[in-house]
Structures are given as C-alpha cells and as structure tokens.
A and B are shown apart, each in its own frame.
Chain A
Amino acid sequence: MGHYYNIDDIIMEEEPILVSFQVGANGVGLLDPSSETNSVEKGAKVDLPFWLAHELFLRQAASVNVPSCYSQKTRKEIQADAACVDLRSRSPYFYELGCKVAPLVGDKTIGSFLRHAFASRYKEALSKAHGAALAKPPKYLTYLTKEESSLFEAARTSMEAFKKWQAGGSRLERASILGRKRKPGIGTHPSSP
C-alpha cells in the first residue's frame, strides 16, 4: 500500500473491478444495481471499486476477476506495437492497478506482461518528450497512462530547464501560484546597452 495520504494511490483504488460475491450481504443493496431488495445475494457479480473488492477478497467474501484491460486482446495489441496502444482509455492506472490485482487473481503472467509493456513504451515516450519539447501536445499523449504522462512531463521539463540553463535565463521568478499571466511587454524591455 502506498502512502496513506497519496492522492494517486487513492484515486487508483477507485478503479472498478468485477467481483463475485461468495457470501450474501444485507443492507448494501446499492452495490448491486440489479438487486431488488436492499441486499446482495451470494454469487452476485458486481463492479466494485478496487478498495472494496480488495478488502472483501481478504475476508474471503468475494472472488476477483481479471479486469478486462489485461485481456488477451490488449496483450496482442501490445505485442504488435506497444507505443500505439491507448492504455489510458483502458485504465489511467494501468500498471499500478495491474500490480495490485495480480496477487488477487493468481495470474502469474500479468507481471511480466506489464513489465514488457512499460519497457517498450518507455523508450518511445522518452525520445518523443525530448524531441517535441515545444510543439503542441501530439495525439500520442492521450494514450499514456498517468504514470507515463508524468514521466513524459518530467523528461520534457528537464529538457526545457537544460535549454534555459544553456541560454542563461533568469532564475528568479514570480511564484507560480499567482497564475501564469504575464504583464504584456515584460519580455520586450530594451536590453541594456
């Protein structure tokens, strides 16, 4: 488990997982939209957020199914051309969720699949981030998971910082919290004689 206060960790645990209830549960009919009573029947299949699915699994109250984003179809696409697969639409926390789900479903192949996917996409992301430093964000960015976009962003900003350092830019700046707007004309002050 990540840091207790980690926002990404918390949001990641909100990802839905299909579970089958091994027991019945009263007073929680909301979990099962098809239930007409206020309870969940034994054997009901419902989508639960990961945090709930995980805890119920530990109590042997539910069994967890492999989420569809780790299906054979995705694996084949990754094998064909890893960089062009839209992983974000499958899950913005594709890797993190995979790491957490793998021990619950007992599928030993998920780990190596994730590693392969990440490694082959990482190279592409890094070279694109360095190359397209200032161009407008390409469509490619919308395919990246949360983790990959922060890597991309890190690579891009460090490249920018490097270029700025080379050019000898100003180090003192106004605090970013005050917004990005700049007074027009700041950059156009006549340079010193």
Chain B
Amino acid sequence: MTPLKVTLGGMYGRKSCQLLRELASAEPGQIPTFNNDLFDQVIKECTEHQFQLQSLMRKIQDEGLDIQTTRNEDHFGAVVHHLSLIRNKRCLMAYMYNRAEIIQGLRWKLGPVLPQEIQEKLHYLEEEYFKNHSAAIESYMAELDLDLTVDMVPPKDPYIQVKVLDDIGEVLLGDQSATLVRHSVHSLRRTDAEPFISQMDSTEKTAAHGGGYSSEMSVIFYGFTRRRIAESVGS
C-alpha cells in the first residue's frame, strides 16, 4: 500500500475546513470568490479516502473475517477513512449551502441582475441557481401582483426627492419615462427610485443591464436624512 503521507498532504479534513474558514473570514454580507482549486483538492482527497477504505475492507474479507463483527486494526483504519469522508462531505455541503444562502439574499438586495464584480465570484452553477431563484421569486410576485422587494416600511409620502449622481439617460418609471441627467433633481415615486438607490455607485452595472440605461445608474436621496426630505418637500 502506498503511504498516505504522500497522497494525502496534511491532516485529514484540513483542506475542507480551510474552505470554510475562507467563507467565515469574509466580511459580513460579502461573498468570497468560489475556490475551485481547493474544492477540487477536497474531492480528490475524498476519492483517495474511498480508495483506502475499500482496500482495507477487501483485506478483511480476503482474510476470511466477518466484515460486520471484525474489530481489528484494519477495521479501525477503515473507520478513520470513513469518518474523514463524512467530515469532508459535511464541509463541502456546508460550503455550498452557506454560499447559496448569501446568493439568495443577493436577489433581494440587488435585483434580478448581478453586477459583473459579483458574478465573477460565483461558480457558473451558482449563477444558474441565482437565475432560477430569481425567476421563482418573480413568478411568485407576478402571481400575487405585488412587488415584495420594496422597502418594508410604508413611506409617509409616495414621492421622494432624488438627486442623480451620474448620467443614466432615459428610463421607464411606472407609466412614464424620465430622463435622469447628472445633478438633476427629480420627484420620483419612492418605489421607482429604490432600485437605483440600492445600486448606488455601481458603474459596472450598466453593461450587465444592457440597453435601457445609457451610462451609469447612480441616484441618491437629495436630502440625506428623512427629516431633510420632509423639509425639502415642504419648502
């Protein structure tokens, strides 16, 4: 049997835990780049464990012992490999699961199209997952005829004053279109303005959105606080 020290570098399960540490050390609300390399290494480690497990079990059987009741050194070796497999599986599953949770949250925070910088961090299957999840939410909202992604707290005034930070161009807002030019101030329906506010600063978004928006999409409240909005609306 080839010594494991060569084929399995480091303590069993070390790499899969490393994968999770990476996820845990990311700043809250951020998603780290999918670590394809390390992920594959863990899968390889699993294959190696399985190989070792099977060869030990074969050895027990070859010696004519009962696989169910034998508790010899080969048995405990096999147990260790078995446990390592289960451990690696748990780590890989947790990695995917926790990333999927973050990705689901992105739909609510950023809308149906992800900015380039975030898309780059996802595995292509995760992008697929995001699209499908997004479609599911959209069809549900269409069924209800209700936009669930708007702010949870009802506004005091349905219109708010916004100041456009960058040229956005003509956009369709509800039943009318508006031209959002840099530094212009508009009174918009709050529900129309919200998506622009949550995407503030993201210049790369334009490419992802394709037509419709000409250059950048960055809008911000003219008055920064709620109190100030009330003032500017009142005056």
Shortest distance between the CB of A26 and any CB in chain B (Å): 4
Interface: B65 (CB within 8 A) = no
Q: Is A177 touching B118 in the complex (CB atoms < 8 A)?
A: yes
User: CB of B104 within 8 A of chain A?
Assistant: no
Chain A residues contacting B163 (CB-CB under 8 Å) are 189
Q: Are A14 and B17 in contact (CB under 8 A)?
A: yes
- Report the count of interface residues on B (CB-CB < 8 A): 68
A-B contacts, 24 listed (Cβ < 8 Å): A5-B93, A7-B98, A10-B91, A14-B14, A25-B79, A26-B56, A27-B77, A27-B78, A29-B5, A30-B5, A31-B80, A38-B4, A52-B12, A59-B79, A169-B225, A171-B151, A173-B197, A174-B197, A175-B110, A176-B28, A181-B201, A183-B165, A186-B224, A187-B224
Chain A interface size, as a band, is: 35 or more
Residues of B that sit less than 8 Å from A by CB: 1, 3-5, 8, 11-14, 17, 20-21, 23-24, 28-31, 52, 55-56, 71, 73-74, 76-81, 83-84, 87, 90-91, 93-94, 97-98, 106, 109-110, 115, 118, 151, 153, 163, 165, 194, 197-202, 218, 220-228, 231-232, 235
A124 at interface by CB-CB < 8 Å = no
Cα–Cα distance between A5 and B194 once the two chains are bound (Å) = 34
A59 to B109, CA, bound (A): 47
- Asked if A170 contacts B73 (CB within 8 A), the reply is no
Instruction: Give A2-27 interface residues, CB cut-off 8 Å to B.
Output: 4-8, 10-11, 14, 23-27
